[in-house]
Amino acid sequence: MLREARRTTVLGRLRVSNRVGVLRSDLMRVGSVDIGPGALLAPMEAVTDLPFRTICEEHGAALTYTEFLSAEALIRGAEKVVGRMWPSLGGRRFAVQVFGRDPIVVAAAAVAAAEIGACLVDINMGCPARKVTAGMCGSALMREPALAASLVRAVRAALPSNIPVTIKQRIGWNDLSINAAEFALRMVEAGAALVTVHGRTRDQGFSGPVRLASIAAVRAALPKEIPVVGNGDVKTIDDYLRMKRETGCDAVMIGRAARGNPWLFRAILALETGAPLPARPSIAEQWQVWRRHADMVVQYTNDKMRLHELRKTLAWYSRGLYGGAELRHKAFQENQPAAVLALGERFFAALHAREQSRAETGESDYPGGLAARSLARHLRRHGEGEKRCAD
């Protein structure tokens, strides 16, 4: 049954239903680009740099995005911004997100992104930050659908036909102006091949309830062949399934929960492909992934930012671990990258030793990382049968 479902899915992009009634498809077609199963990594400023994207890709993220890049700065050739447009390692596909409000400039930036190898170019229409909305970019575009549509049209016209243009929006500017569905439809009519919806208004920023009904309204309003990606507060397998079930979205995008927890992508990929659910990452694995992430930070981050980025990385991976708060405090007192790395090594070595000695006595400090905990919760609620969602 599993093999059959996979075969027909790959051949015919047949949608199949798993046991909790969540529709899933193994491939999502965006224009002429096929995206594999699994969750997408959200663009995040000062987070989704090359090391971060690489770690998420290696753990099963279906697609990763750069942080939003100012179209104006890209076109000016501002070194700081151009430097953030690193192609993924190993030839993996990646998306570049740009923001701006001048169609000519945004189109030129999109062409630059395509030239460095982006498989799609996303236009930011959701950023709530004042520094962006003050320039009438980001979520401010949701109040100017005509201008937003002209950006999509300009980018569509400028890009080669095999590179889709996509948008990432919110559900509206505030509670009095929820226009997610009309806005999305207008962007699709202008040429957008995929719409990601963060289920909050601009006024909500990053907190308060995520309105799944508004994401569902976008899904209902758009032609079936245009994928809708649901986004907002997906931190666990249960959140993921709920997002899919209640919105009917074609894929889910994960932002904050991926920080220090790339295993969430691995678990979602297993769920979507019917593979056995992975065990929780051991301390040894968390140690190894932190070290790989930190090594890439050392390799790809400039001298000025290295210390800051290493502290940040260690903070993400130590979240929820025994002694993590003390570690973060110490890391912020260190002034040399090598010292932060050494601190991380000592921290994980001590945890590893502790885990091993507790395993011998049958005790455990670590009920698991976030992904493992959410998997365990999901299995408790839905039963062992969910281990293979397409059986």
What residues make contact with ligand FMN under the rule CB under 6 A?
42-45, 47, 67-68, 97, 124, 126-127, 168, 198, 206, 231-234, 254-257
Report the residue number, 49 or 355, with the smaller CB distance to ligand FMN.
49
In the complex with ligand FMN, the residue whose CB is nearer, 101 or 198, is 198
Number of H helices, E strands in the chain: 16, 12
**Distance in Å, CB of 255 to ligand FMN, minimum:** 3
**Min CB(356)–ligand FMN separation in Å:** 34
Largest CA distance in the chain: 66
43 vs 191 by CB, closer to ligand FMN: 43
SS (H, E, C) 71-119: HHHHHHCCHHHHCCCCCCHHHCCCEEEEECCCHHHHHHHHHHHHHCCCC
DSSP letters of 175-189?
Answer: GGGB-HHHHHHHHHH
Catalytic hit among 119, 127, 137, 249: 127
Taking Cα atoms as reference points, which of 265, 263, 232, 269 lies closest to residue 247? 232
Least distance to ligand FMN, CB of residue 300, Å:
18
Residue type, 181: A
C-beta of 143: minimal distance to ligand FMN in Å? 17
Nearer to ligand FMN among residue 103 and residue 230 (C-beta): 230
Q: What is the pairing mode between strands 40-41 and 63-70?
A: parallel
Q: Smallest Cα–Cα separation from 335: which of 311, 301, 319, 299?
A: 311
What is the chain's Cα-based Rg?
21
231 or 374, CB closer to ligand FMN? 231
Residue 206 or 332: the one with the smaller Cβ distance to ligand FMN is: 206
**Which residues pair with residue 280 across a beta bridge?**
none
Of the pair 126, 145, the CB lying nearest ligand FMN is at 126
Active-site residue flag, 127: yes
Q: Please provide residue 324's backbone torsions phi and psi, each rounded to the nearest 5 degrees.
A: -65, -40
Which of residues 188 and 257 has its CB atom nearest to ligand FMN in the complex? 257
Closest residue by Cα to residue 68 from 39, 94, 46, 35: 46
Q: Which amino acid is at 141?
A: L
- Written as six digits, the tokens of 44 are 């995040």
CB of 243 to ligand FMN, least distance (A): 10
Q: Is 53 helix (H, G, I), strand (E, B) or coil?
A: helix
DSSP 372: H
Closest distance of CB 47 from ligand FMN, Å: 5
φ, ψ (nearest 5 deg) of residue 43: -70, 135
DSSP string, 116-167: TT-SEEEEEE----HHHHTTT-GGGGGG-HHHHHHHHHHHHHHS-TTS-EEE
Residue for token pair 């281990």: 387
Q: In the complex, which residue's CB is closest to ligand FMN?
A: 255
Active site amino acids: 127
